Each structure stands twice: as structure tokens, then as C-alpha cells.
């Protein structure tokens, strides 16, 4: 087996590329020692807001061996979603680019299942699990460890060649591989564009985001009413927010994705301010079928639009 670690790793990275992933890096499955105190402090300060699930499975978040029996490797993958398509009415409530097409959970989970199947066919029986942003896995920490990029001041993972408009996912498997041991250097330098531009001042310090102030949290995760203090500070975002990425200098290197599933529904970009204000549940279900926007549900989106109504 040891002499095949390099061969297996090369095979996995090649197959990941064939499946459309922009990045693939591999780390040893072990306890995330550096992340433990950071995560604990973040939770203790209540920066996770109403995301109670962040308090669950603390140990599993830090040790992949508790998620997959006898885990040896964490395969980190990145899938590009950058697009130059925009909503036609510049005054309409805004949706984050990542939610234009089919829900990325569905798209990536399918690709990960294919990759695991290929590993089993070409290498042998391997036990593993696929993770896409909905389980106790610290995606960015593993991606950084695997050399996919550095964690920027907005706490997004940034790659020097392609910026930050990509999704992260993992395969945790019980196969020992050749590990990428060169984490990317931090290239944020003295830039504070993201800190300065955040409409709700959620980036409370470089590399620290108060999740309970983030527009993405307020429009998606928060189930109660949006606090009045954010009135007029939402920059017209009704689902998610791209501000800290849009102002990041490294995103001038972003390249257009080539994933057909991320093509927007034909009606989505053409809905105007009045259309959004008067949106019905039927239109919502039609436009957002298999979309990440379904997470906020019809009433949640109506709540968000209503909160922005002074701008509509």
C-alpha cells in the first residue's frame, strides 16, 4: 500500500478534475488542534446567533475520525460557481450568486458519490462519507490544510489564482494517501476592503465574523424577525450577500464556471422590483425548484423582501 499512496492520490485528483471540481487537496485525518480554541471562543461569544446546531457535535467538528471509522484522509474539493450573469433590474432585491442555479448541495453530493464510486472501482473497497456544508465538518480549515487557499479577513477561503467564488466539500475515507502539507500563505496583506464594506459591520475584526450580524445569516438562518437595528443596512439583499467577496481584490481573477446545473432559472434574473414585492407561492416554487433559496421558504423570502420594502 505505501508505494501506491502517490498513485492513488494522483488518480483521485485526476478524477475530481474530470467531475468538474476546480480544486482537490488531501490532508491527514487528525484532530484540528489550532481550530479548537477558536471555535470554542466564537461559540462562547454567541457569534453563531440562533444557529444552535453549531454547538452540537463539538468534538466531531474537530476530529474527522469521529465521523468515519478508521478515517485516514480528508479529501477537500472546491467547485467554482462564479458567474457574470446579473439580475436585470438593478433596483430589485438581490440574491447571492451561489443561489442562482440548482442547490449546490444536490450538485456536489452527486459528484462526491461518483468520486467515491470511482475510488472503490479503481482502488478497491474504501469506506468513506461525503460532506457538503451540512454536517459537523470545518470545511475551510480542511481546505486551508490541503493547500486550496488561505482564510481571508472575511473568513472565506481565498485562492490566489481564482479568488473565492467556489463551494467547499469533503470526502473522508479510511484510505491512507499522500498528503498536501503546504498550506497557502496569507495574501490579504494590509487590505481591509471586506471589513470596511460589510453593510452590517459583521466583520468585527480581521478574520472574525459575528455570524449573528451577517446578512447571509439574517436572510437565511434567522427564523425570527430581522432585528430593527439592521433596517436600511441590508444593501437590498434578500437572500445571502456577496459584498465581502465582490470587494476582494483577489476576485478579479475569478473565472466563469462551466457547471450547467448552476445556470439560473430563465425567469430569475428578469424579475423586477414589483415582481418580487408581489411574488406568489406558485412563482416561488416554480423559480426556485431545487434551489438553495428553498431553505428560507416562501414566508422567509417574503419577510426579507418586506424588511427591504423601503428600497423597493
The tally of CA atoms less than 13 A away on the side-chain side of residue 12 is 34
User: What are the cell numbers at 256?
Assistant: 466563469
Q: Within 10 A of 144 (CB to CB), how many other CB atoms are there?
A: 23
Residue 133 is among the residues annotated as catalytic for this protein: yes
User: What values do phi and psi take at 215, rounded to 5?
Assistant: -60, -35
Residue 77: burial class (beta carbons within 10 Å; 0-12, 13-18, 19+): buried
H/E stretch holding 286 reads helix 281-287
Active-site pick, 133, 196, 246, 278: 133
Q: Measuring CA to CA, which residue among 251, 210, 217, 209 is closest to residue 234?
A: 217
Residue partners of 284: CB distance under 8 A and separation at least 6: 298, 301
Residues forming beta bridges with residue 26, ordered by sequence position:
75
Cβ proximity of 190 and 184 under 8 Å: no
**Residue 90 gets which letter from DSSP?**
T
By the 8 A CB rule, do 294 and 288 touch? Answer: yes
Going by DSSP bridges, is the β-strand pair 94-95/23-28 parallel, antiparallel, or unpaired? unpaired
CB–CB of 168/24 below 8 Å? Answer: no
User: How do the residues of the chain divide into helix, strand and coil, expressed in percent and rounded to 5?
Assistant: 40, 15, 45
- Enter the C-alpha cell of residue 56: 452540537
What values do phi and psi take at 178, rounded to 5?
Answer: -85, 125
- Residues involved in catalysis: 133
Amino acid at each position: 500500500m505505501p508505494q501506491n499512496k502517490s498513485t492513488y492520490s494522483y488518480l483521485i485528483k485526476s478524477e475530481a478534475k474530470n467531475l468538474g471540481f476546480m480544486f482537490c487537496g488531501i490532508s491527514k485525518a487528525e484532530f484540528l488542534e489550532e481550530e479548537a480554541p477558536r471555535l470554542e471562543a466564537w461559540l462562547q461569544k454567541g457569534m453563531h446567533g440562533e444557529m444552535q446546531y453549531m454547538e452540537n457535535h463539538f468534538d466531531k467538528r474537530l476530529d474527522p475520525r469521529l465521523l468515519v471509522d478508521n478515517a485516514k484522509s480528508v479529501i477537500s474539493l472546491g467547485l467554482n460557481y462564479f458567474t457574470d450573469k446579473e439580475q436585470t433590474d438593478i433596483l430589485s432585491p438581490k440574491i447571492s450568486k451561489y443561489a442562482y442555479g440548482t442547490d449546490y448541495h444536490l450538485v456536489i453530493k452527486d459528484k462526491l458519490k461518483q468520486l467515491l464510486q470511482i475510488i472503490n472501482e479503481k482502488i478497491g473497497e474504501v469506506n468513506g462519507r461525503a460532506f457538503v456544508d451540512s454536517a459537523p465538518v470545518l470545511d475551510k480549515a480542511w481546505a486551508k490544510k490541503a493547500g486550496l487557499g488561505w482564510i481571508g479577513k472575511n473568513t472565506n477561503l481565498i485562492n490566489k489564482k481564482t479568488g473565492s467564488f467556489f463551494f467547499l466539500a469533503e470526502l473522508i475515507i479510511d484510505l491512507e494517501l499522500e498528503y498536501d502539507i503546504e498550506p497557502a500563505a496569507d495574501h490579504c496583506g494590509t487590505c481591509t476592503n471586506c471589513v470596511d464594506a460589510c453593510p452590517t459591520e459583521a466583520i468585527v475584526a480581521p478574520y472574525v465574523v459575528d455570524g449573528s450580524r451577517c446578512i447571509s445569516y439574517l436572510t437565511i438562518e434567522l427564523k425570527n424577525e430581522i432585528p430593527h437595528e439592521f433596517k436600511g443596512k441590508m444593501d437590498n439583499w434578500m437572500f445571502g450577500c456577496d459584498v465581502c467577496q465582490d470587494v476582494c481584490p483577489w476576485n478579479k481573477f475569478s473565472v466563469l464556471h462551466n457547471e450547467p446545473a448552476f445556470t439560473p432559472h430563465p425567469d430569475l434574473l428578469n424579475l423586477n422590483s414589483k415582481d418580487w414585492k408581489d411574488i406568489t407561492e406558485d412563482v416561488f416554487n416554480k423559480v426556485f425548484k431545487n434551489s438553495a433559496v428553498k431553505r428560507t421558504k416562501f414566508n422567509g423570502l417574503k419577510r426579507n423582501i418586506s424588511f427591504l420594502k423601503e428600497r423597493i
